[in-house]
Structure 1
Amino acid sequence: MAPPLYSAQLHPGRGLGFFALGTSLHDTLTRIKSEPVKFPKIDLKYDVKQPLAVPTIVELPANGIRFRFDGPEQRLRLIEIIDFTKNHVYVKQGGDKERDLVRPEVANEITGPSFKHIYQRFLGPTYAGEYIKQSGVYILSYPGVAFTFPMKESDYSPNKDIISLIPANEAATSMAIFSGESWAHACKTLWTEVLPSIKTHPPLAKTKDASADEVSLVKIHGGGKLQLFRKWTKNSFWIFLGETTPQQIVHELGPPDSIYYKNDQRMIIHRNRATSNNLDLPKGGDFKQDDLTDTDLSSHPASDDSSREEAIEDDDFTTSTEERFLNYFHQGFDILISTRTDPSETPPSQIGDKIVPGPTVRSGSSSRLVATKIVLHGNVPGSYPFNRHRRCRWEIAYLSPSADKGSMATSETPFSEVEESLREEWKSVYASESEAKQKQRGMVLNRGWGDSPGSSIELLGGWEDTSAGGHHRGGRKKYDGTEDSTTTLYGFPGLVFEVLKNGFVSAVTVF
């Protein structure tokens, strides 16, 4: 049985229905998965070797819609209607009068809207479009929306006006929604333009959404100091590991999406096994067993008694003495709240640097719970925990830009380059080069083997299906061979990286 026809208002230059340009890949997939009857099938396409450089595509075959997201930010840049018979698109004119893209009386007779209908009844007159010789199509462009018409090269002439070029009854084969005055203009900045806040998108602007602005970038300054920049603003705030309280975090970010308490019974197996595992881990403050463990533990969903609703309604969750992770799925990170521990050492290049501030208010008693770790998630397509969190972009601010590559170590940098810069930064803290290599070597783990008795279920994780953005659905996440479940962990002072087979960072823990 065919799904109900998806009906949505067209907002040229802004979005289609509740799908707004600029929305994250995580939020878009979360919304789609929340309505399986309306959107029964999802096709995800990405480049395995360059998942953060090549756009990610989400296609809804049953609805005739396709979404394109840029690689680095994973922001929705382009919405396409590729089958007009599987959806109902309309615009609103004065007095809230609706005009349909495909006229209802002929919807079953044609494959798309005719040129005459678009020109006369839907959007009105427009300037001449653009002929794409390689594709054999003519792009009829309006501000923020464009239509594709098939056209033979022999039929095109730059001397003809638009009325002479396209027959009145010619049906469009696709429609694109983008940000820009015309398609020709938008193509130049389609993947890099800073889009306006999604809160100004008409359907969203009418809702009472008091959520905090997204964090667009986290700068890691070393020594447990992180600077978080907000999307669409110039504002930032600091988290000082070992000092920042949960009350301060909630004040800046709002309530977490869920809370994961570290006394969960699933922790016991690993705690009992920790002393018997001969992992030969480096000693010292730069790479500890708990740091390894927490790279995965923080991404586990909240247990049934720690849902987002309880997190919001329970006024005492920031004053409880129980250790827990504050899961911010829609921000792209998790924060461990525990008893105060000293943060990692200051990077050698930052010693004596007074530019990076320290905490202005100390948290008082040493037994009081504070932020001690933060896990930044990459949401790399193809990775095992894909779509648990929104992609969080980061930058290691204390590393100098590479002389030959001219860029800092960022969330988009291949780990081999990040590793090289970190080894150079921290080489002075090791007694010898052999000691540095010993402490910086990688550990391989596989998330897809499940919670068998021979594995550390805390380390591997993946019990519940949280691919819809962290909302518990009551079913196990099954490894079907499509995810990259084998990763490698690398440790440096204050940092643990989880690296995929293609060399990109899936997550980084800062402590």
Structure 2
Amino acid sequence: MLQRPRRRCEGTAMGAIVLDLRPGLGIGPFSLGMPICDAFAQIEQQPNIYDVVHVKYYDEEPLKLDIVISFPDHGFHLRFDPWSQRLRLIEIFDVKRLQMRYATSLIGGPSTLATFVAVYALFGPTFPGIYDKGRGIYTLFYPGLSFAFPIPSQYTECCHEREAELPLEFPDGTTPVTCRVSIYDSSTDSKVGVGALMDKACAPPLAAGSLYMEAVHVKLGEEIWFTVGGQHIPFGASPQDVWTELGRPCGIHQKQVDQMVIHSASDPRPRTTLCVDYFYNYFTRGLDILFDGQTHKIKKFVLHTNYPGHADFNSYMKCNFVIYGSDFGGSFHQGEGTAKRMITPSTKWEQVKEILGDCGRAAIQTQGSTSNPFGSTFVYGYQNVAFEVMKNGYLATVTLFQS
């Protein structure tokens, strides 16, 4: 698990924030189901509040564990599903560091202990919770919200069954104090808490017609097709065609240098020759489109996976592309048995080679150690497609072109 720490701003008071608690929906500016890029945008808008931020992920297998954005000074973190990169669970792991506002009342923080009595008084009656004997934790559930209470060993007999009575107070007159609060989508009626219960949290369903993670099918050497909107964008299309189909790009920039031209035996120009080609950047679709500066026609598509551990992480939302192996003639339609020969953002490089065959040695790509702390990537080329591969074997980008 790797962490990307941010530098603390001087003079920021720890634990001094109050966030609105929205059971089943989110907390403060963070909403369940939001893409990770949107969460980072909220963080960047309030740097004096979210000044210490850790990003944690499993570098070797980035799809195996959640991507976690953690705020150690404020005692909570955000868990994102590693495939969809949408927020599935919010956990307050140090309730004394974060004060929450529900309706007009406050709970948590250094001055308002989140005791069982306080929780019960604020949120009202509910059904008996679940006692995890191995962890010594009693979890109380409300729709989209749960509170975990540690039970001292001398009082475990108060919670001897899986569904125990509400432990409002112990025999000595004390009351349990919350050690963790979980906020999760309540549409599935799942009970989410600590341990194995944490895995039951899922990002809420996308709204009908949402373009997020829209499948983008690739017909190598010909075009790409967006399945929700139904747009077909072929090679050779003009900027006007692209605007009509996809709308205004998020950004436009000129390609300064064609670094790969040196590998073309038919083109004797020096590698440093300035290039008049230009990109349309569709960051929210995980897509760049390169136009020829002379003809103003599409010559390349670049599809981004947005994996952590790559220099472009958080610059693009994830492109959910689908590429079929050559055995299927570039067809958009998946037939029986084709799933094993599909290339998607989840496909590792070894699987790509099994589908398309070996392509020989890779070109090494780096942006320099200063601007890219994650090291080099490797670019492998086939007819009409090139794959940029990270050191863990996952695809960073896919570049489509016409040979």
Q: Which range, TM-score by smaller chain? A: 0.7 to 0.9
* 1:485 match: 375
2:289 matches 1:335: yes
- The answer as to whether partners of 2:362 and 2:380 remain within 8 angstroms in 1 is yes
The answer to whether the Cα contact below 8 Å between 1:3 and 1:62 also exists between their aligned partners in 2 is yes
Structure 1 residue 99: deviation in Å? 2.2
Q: 1:324 to 1:406 in 2, by over 3 A?
A: closer
Q: Give the one of 103, 107, 110 matched to 1:108.
A: 110
Identity of aligned residues (%): 28
Please state if 1:195 is matched with 2:205: yes
C-alpha deviations, 1:298-331, integer Å up to 9, x for none?
A: 9xxxxxxxxxxxxxxxxxxxxxxx7421122232
- Counterpart contact for 1:379–1:385, Cα < 8 Å: yes
SS of 1:30's partner is: helix
Deviation at residue 9 of structure 1 after TM alignment: 1.8
Letter in structure 2 aligned against 1:504 = Y
1:41 is aligned to 2:49: no
Pick the aligned partner of 1:258 from 224, 227, 251.
251
Could you tell me which residue of structure 1 aligns to residue 166 of structure 2?
Answer: 163
Superposed structure 1 runs of 4+ greater than 6 Å apart: 400-405
Matches within 5 A, 1:251-290: 251-262=244-255, 264=256, 267=257, 277=262, 279=263
Distance 1:289 1:162 in 2: 80
CA shift, 1:502, in A, is: 1.0
1:221 and 1:398 in contact (8 A); partners too: no
| Counterpart for residue 226 of structure 1 | 224
Distance across 1 between alignment mates of 2:248 and 2:39? 21
Q: Would you say the 8 A contact 1:27–1:330 is kept in 2?
A: no
How far has the Cα of 1:189 moved from its partner?
4.8
Q: Which residue of 2 aligns with 1:396?
A: 323
Aligned pair in 2 of structure 1 residues 254, 3: CA closer, same or farther (>3 Å)?
Answer: farther
SS of the counterpart of 2:140? strand
Measured at CA, do residues 160 and 370 of structure 1 come closer, stay the same or move farther in structure 2, by a change above 3 Å?
A: closer
Q: CA deviation at 1:391?
A: 2.1
Task: Report if aligned partners of 1:215, 1:228 keep a CA contact under 8 Å in 2.
Answer: no
Superposition pairs of residues 57-456 of structure 1, within 5 angstroms: 57-92=68-103, 98-102=104-108, 108-109=110-111, 112-121=113-122, 123-151=123-151, 152=153, 153-158=156-161, 161-164=164-167, 167=170, 169-180=175-186, 181-184=189-192, 189-191=200-202, 195-197=205-207, 213-230=211-228, 235-243=229-237, 245-262=238-255, 264=256, 267=257, 277=262, 279=263, 323-338=277-292, 367=295, 369-398=296-325, 406=340, 408-423=342-357, 440-449=360-369
- For 2:149 and 2:320, the matched residues in 1 are separated by 39
- Secondary structure of the equivalent of 1:447? coil
Return closer, same or farther for 1:108/1:446 CA change in 2, 3 Å cut-off: closer
Alignment RMSD? 3.5
- Whole-Å separation in 1 of the counterparts to 2:57 and 2:208: 24
Indicate if the aligned counterparts of 1:224 and 1:494 stay in contact, CA closer than 8 A.
no
Q: Tell me the secondary structure at the aligned position of residue 42 of structure 2.
A: helix
1:207 maps to none
Once the two structures are TM-superposed, the CA of residue 164 in structure 1 deviates from its matched residue by 3.9
Between the aligned partners of 2:231 and 2:35, the Cα distance in structure 1 is: 22
Aligned partner of residue 101 in structure 1, secondary structure: strand
Q: Relative contact order (C-alpha < 8 Å, sep 6+): which is higher?
A: 1
Query: Which structure shows the bigger proportion of residues in helix conformation?
Result: 1
**Paired AA for residue 177 in structure 2:** A
8 Å Cα contact 1:7-1:89 kept in structure 2: yes
Structure 1 residues without counterparts, runs of 5 or longer: 93-97, 200-211, 299-321, 341-366, 424-436, 450-476
Q: Which runs of no fewer than 5 residues in structure 2 stay unpaired? A: 1-10, 329-333
User: AA paired with 2:235?
Assistant: L
Q: Which has the higher strand share?
A: 2
Q: Deviations over 1:162-205 (max 9, x none)?
A: 324755732101111111324259756535x6524499xxxxxx
Do the aligned partners of 1:3 and 1:40 also contact (CA within 8 Å) in 2? no
Residue 166 of structure 2 aligns to which amino acid in structure 1?
I
TM-score, L = length of structure 2: 0.80
Shift of 1:252: 4.2
SS of structure 1 residue aligned to 2:368: helix
- TM-score of the pair, normalised by structure 1: 0.64
Q: Offset of 1:4 from its aligned partner?
A: 7.1
Alpha-carbon distance in 2 for matches of 1:66, 1:335 = 35
Instruction: Name the aligned partner's letter for residue 324 of structure 1.
Output: Y
Bigger mean CA offset, 161-170 vs 36-45: 161-170
Counterpart CA distance in 1 for 2:75 and 2:304 is: 31
Contact 2:321 2:345 in 1 (8 A): yes
Query: Are the counterparts in 1 of residues 132 and 162 from structure 2 also a CA contact under 8 Å?
Result: no
